[in-house]
Amino acid sequence: MKTLRCPKCDTRIPFDPSRYEPGSSLVFECPECRKQFKIRLPARRDAPEEEEQRPVATLLVVENAFHEKQVIPLHPGQNVLGREVRGTSINRPIKTVDPSMDTLHCRILVDTDRQGNPRFTLSDGPSGTGTFVGTEILGDRERRRISDGTVITLGATTLILRVGEGE
Ligand SMILES: [Zn+2]
């Protein structure tokens, strides 16, 4: 429970924001002076931003001539990977100057199996140079299940899937 203050007479008015939709505009009437005033609730209530939640897994981007080592968090849902460019709309950009990595190169879908264990499904962008698992190139419409330790190659860049604790 929170309290609002009447903008006219400063009376405290109890207020429970959880009863209302986030982002909605509400009109209150002061019980003391009858002043009506509007407030707008924040767009989100308690839900933390996705990026603040612990990732299900990470991708280690192995250092090479084009970039330093990076760790890319993977979250439930579609993780879209590619070379970071200004104004990119993908959600897992990789900082690299590797010209053979597309700005949208591949996707990793994170969901769970029937036992509730995390599941990772890799598919190609489609990209210009292809997405490799080990030494095998993925087919255009292929969905490849990957797991802890899987080595993925995008252009000249090597990524290693890390599931669970640690690096
Ligand atoms: Zn008032």
pLDDT at res. 19 = 84
State how far the Cα of 154 lies from the Cα of 105, in Å rounded to an integer. Answer: 7
pLDDT at res. 42 = 78
Distance 145 CA to ligand 1 centre (A): 62
Judged by DSSP in three states, 17 sits in: helix
Q: What is the pLDDT along the chain (167 residues), one digit of tens a residue?
A: 788 899 999 999 888 888 888 888 889 999 999 999 998 887 765 555 555 678 999 999 999 999 999 999 999 999 999 999 999 999 999 999 999 999 999 999 999 999 999 999 999 999 999 999 999 999 999 999 999 999 999 999 999 999 975 44
pLDDT at res. 53 = 76
Indicate whether 96 and 133 sit together in one domain: yes
CATH of residue 137 = 2.60.200.20
**CB distance 43 to 53 below 8 Å:** no
Distance 10 CA to ligand 1 centre (A): 6
Distance 1 CA to ligand 1 centre (A): 19
Indicate whether 26 and 55 sit together in one domain: no
Distance 2 CA to ligand 1 centre (A): 17
Q: What 8-state DSSP symbol labels residue 126?
A: S
Domain membership of residue 45 (yes or no) is: no
Distance 48 CA to ligand 1 centre (A): 34
Distance 22 CA to ligand 1 centre (A): 25
pLDDT at res. 136 = 97
Indicate whether 77 and 148 sit together in one domain: yes
pLDDT at res. 166 = 47
Distance 41 CA to ligand 1 centre (A): 20
Q: Which domain holds residue 11?
A: 2-40
**CB distance 98 to 157 below 8 Å:** yes
Cα R_g (the chain), whole angstroms: 24
**Total domain count, the chain:** 2
Closest CA to 81 of 133, 159, 139, 137: 159
Indicate whether 24 and 55 sit together in one domain: no
Indicate whether 34 and 54 sit together in one domain: no
Distance 29 CA to ligand 1 centre (A): 8
Distance 7 CA to ligand 1 centre (A): 7
Whole-structure pTM value: 0.69
Indicate whether 109 and 130 sit together in one domain: yes
Distance 4 CA to ligand 1 centre (A): 11
